[in-house]
A and B are shown apart, each in its own frame.
Chain A
Amino acid sequence: MTPRLPSPWPCPPSPLWVPLLAFLCACLSPIERLYAQQDERAVRAAYVFSLTKYVAWPNGRDHLVIGVVGDGDMGPVLKQVLDGKKSDGKNIRIEIHPSESELHDCDILYVTDSSPAEVHAVLHRIGGRSVLTVGETDRFVRSGGMVAMVRSGDQMQIEVNLIELRTAQLQMSSRLLRLAVIVAGDGGAP
């Protein structure tokens, strides 16, 4: 199974008014806005939002904290699109580059554009806590990350490391697992 990107929307992409339109559309629906922009980051943000609905945390709080680490520009996009939104009744808060204490409060940690060493360090920082780690590469999953949204042509492929998920006591919906590529970890070596 090969997930594909959605068919091209009628609106042609434009570097200039994409962010503006994305913002406008976000007022109505973040996914529509992201789709409309044909922007990979928006798609990733939308996927992150969707992920919140297919993963169950063991502590079951009434809000979700999404931390963003790394050098990529996904932090502002996520902040822009998801912060303050509600997912299944839970308020989403985005913490870009969270502090150590903030990191402890995170439910999802989005790792963007990071070297394997950085990834490893971040995963180490999390320790054994139930934090869903989301990355952008196949290597991320193999390096001890849990979910990766990997671009494959014009499609976005979800890859999942089930062992890590279980270790962190996170439950992922089988519906999502049906779409995902299950990847085994290689022991966390960079």
Chain B
Amino acid sequence: MRLARFGTLRVRIISLVVLTASFAVGLYTATISWVNTSSSVLQLNQRLTTLADIIGQNSTAALDFNDRKAAAEVLQALASEPSVVSACLYDRGGHLFSEYAHGRLACSSTAGRPPASDDEYRSVSRTIRHASESAGSIELTADMVDLHQRNRHMLLLAIGLALLSMWVAGGAGAVLQRRISRPVMELASAMNKITTEATFDLRVRIEGSNEIAQLAHGFNRMIGELERRNRIARDAELRLTEQSRTDALTSLPNRRHLVEQLRHELARASREKRMIGLLYIDLDGFKLVNDSLGHGMGDLLLCQVATRFASRVRASDTLARLGGDEFTVILTALERPEDARQAADALIECLVQPFVIEGNQITVGASIGITTQCPSSTEDPDLLKQADNAMYAAKRSGKNRAVHFSAELGMVARERLTLENELRGAIGRHEIFVVYQPEFDLKSGRLVRFEALARWKHPHLGDISPATFIPIAEDSGLIHILGEFVMEQACRRCLTWQNLPGAPVQIAVNVSALQFNSEDFVDIVSSILNRAGLPPKLLQIELTESVMIGSLAHTRDKILRLRTLGVNVAIDDFGTGYSSLGYLSQLPFTALKIDRTFLNNRGPTPESITMVQSMIELGHKMGLRVIVEGIEEERQLEMIREMGADDAQGYLLGRPCADPELCSASCFQGSIPHLEEKLHATEEKLAAVIG
């Protein structure tokens, strides 16, 4: 501490100034004292000589006329000269003539004593001359006490002045120090302040134009430069932060920003006791667009979707893109949970109008998961996960709809995760197998084809419904492997039937829209047919209406290519999905399969009968073979036959079976089991009624 204090500029400057001044003053004092002492001794000698001469001259008459009294009187004049302690007047013969003694020093009786020249006494001896003759001599002796005393006084005065000079020098040093080190200290403190507070708007006051001022000037310039660079760095950082929080494609907030914003909004909602909602949106059919039209087109579509969504949310809501085709909306300040549903419906509705991108008309839907957080809730749920689960539920329940999250959905989501993991190994473990359900020609009653249906028998979970695992396969991408596996199995099996009675028998295979829209789907079908050795005309590919999502031209082109191969293409589950008659007319299907829901809703109602009738007529008018699913009762069978449907399928006619050669052996005999009898019985009843 003490060393540090000694090392400060302040102490050093003052010390230097004081030391320099002390040295100079000391040297000056010593020199002056020495010169003063020497000169005062010299002066004393000179004065003694002069005095001796004067006294001598004044004593000549006394000597010449032998007047001792007069001589004594002359010598007495020396009383006014206190430093002269003795005066000895000698006559011409060297004998003591008169003397004057001020102190204890006495004259010798004869002249010629060597003059004293020590520290105590100084003496001079002068011959008295008058009229060219010696009249005698005089010896004057002075003591040095007075001289020494005066010299001492002089020295004390000099030392006093030296001390005063040092004090003044110390003061001057302090002033100098203030002028040098204070600005330096100010600089240092400014630097400290800048370092600790990280503020660059601080500037040092500049006074004068000396080196310190130049230093301060340089410092200010440096701080200015630092500030400039800091600003650039901060701007760059802000840009980076902005970029890291923004989705590059749509310029919407990204997942990271969303998570932050959600946390923020949750906190605010909790403070303000407001309800908050979260929508998790996944586009339906986007994958198809991406796969069929390329990523460039997909990106353009995403941008347009983002624009449409943005136009439908309030300014206070946060629309974000999580990645891929997933969007989210944070809904703030909701009154009721229904508000969230309204918002979701508005978003779905805004996608109805097709997008036009580079001349292509593209339609996408949206599956939306909704979750809301009540202000009273003390839980801290993972809203994003809830909304995600709800969104999957929406997907599963038919897509293009919004589903509100519930506790059950959470369970389903967990179960679904388990199944997805199980499904990955299921094909390899032969847990997936194919069952076949027969379809009959209503006119001839002959077996025309089997529909191949995938089944999953899990060793622990038991039979798992296709309604459960097919969406999982679609979401996880396993649908391609699964689809190919089923198609190949079915084709190989179908080939074996061609040797049985009742041949030719077709095989109908359901194809997911994902499969259908993959680039090489036609090639895959072709290679499966080749491997199985099945004639293409025996294969009927069944597509759901969801294939119509995406590019109509591409779908049409692909169907045409399949038909060029010789494969039949049917539209499955007709009347349930996106059915657009406009699309239907443009796609070259070979068959139309009316969904079972039209017959199974607690028996046919007049409306459903009318609709089935219309659909059959529509199909026929478009030159399609019309197949009706879900025949469970004989009256249904009779009804559709009368309506003119071409083929029928249902539990009444045959359940799905892994080995149709055994369980439906009679089918291969050429007709529907007991169908003719049933038909006859019905006709008889009718005849009886009519009759």
Contacts and interface: CB of A to CB of B under 8 A. Distances in A.
A54 B63 CA distance: 13
A53 B134 CA distance: 12
A94 B341 CA distance: 171
Given A29-B92, A88-B132, A175-B60, A1 B65 contact: no
B684 interface: no
Interface class of chain A by DSSP: mixed
Nearest to A86: B132
A167 interface: no
B61 A179 contact: yes
A158 B70 CA distance: 13
Contacts of A53: 64, 130-131, 133
B223 interface: no
Given A29-B92, A53-B130, A88-B131, A179 B67 contact: yes
B62 interface: yes
A32 interface: yes
Interface residues of B, number: 18
Contact of A47 (B57, B65, B93, B133): B65
Interface string A1-33: 111111000000000000000000000010110
Given A53-B131, A88-B131, A89-B132, A176 B92 contact: no
Interface string B58-85: 1011101111111000000000000000
Interface in A96-146: none
Contacts, number: 51
Interface string B120-133: 00000000001111
A176 B66 contact: no
Nearest to B68: A4
B138 to A, nearest CB: 15
B69 A176 contact: no
Interface string A70-101: 00000000000000000111000000000000
Contacts of B64: 50, 53-54
B69 A1 contact: yes
A152 interface: no
A173 interface: yes
A89 B68 CA distance: 27
Which of B57, B67, B69 has the most A CB atoms < 10 Å from its CB? B67
B353 to A, nearest CB: 151
A65 to B, nearest CB: 18
A158 B64 CA distance: 12
Which of A1, A47, A89, A175 has the most B CB atoms < 10 Å from its CB? A175
Contacts of A54: 61, 64
Interface string A51-69: 0011000000000000000
A35 B67 CA distance: 14
Given A88-B132, A175-B58, A178-B70, A32 B65 contact: no
Nearest to A87: B131
A154 B566 CA distance: 192
B70 A1 contact: yes
A89 to B, nearest CB: 6
Given A3-B69, A47-B65, A158-B65, 6 more contacts: A4-B69, A53-B64, A53-B133, A88-B132, A156-B66, A176-B61
Interface of B: 57-58, 60-62, 64-70, 92-93, 130-133
21 contacts: A1-B69, A3-B65, A4-B66, A5-B66, A6-B66, A47-B65, A50-B64, A53-B64, A53-B130, A53-B133, A54-B61, A87-B131, A88-B132, A89-B132, A156-B65, A156-B66, A158-B65, A175-B57, A175-B61, A176-B65, A179-B62
Listed from nearest, the 8 A-B pairs whose CB atoms lie closest are A88-B131, A175-B61, A53-B131, A50-B64, A6-B66, A176-B61, A179-B67, A3-B67
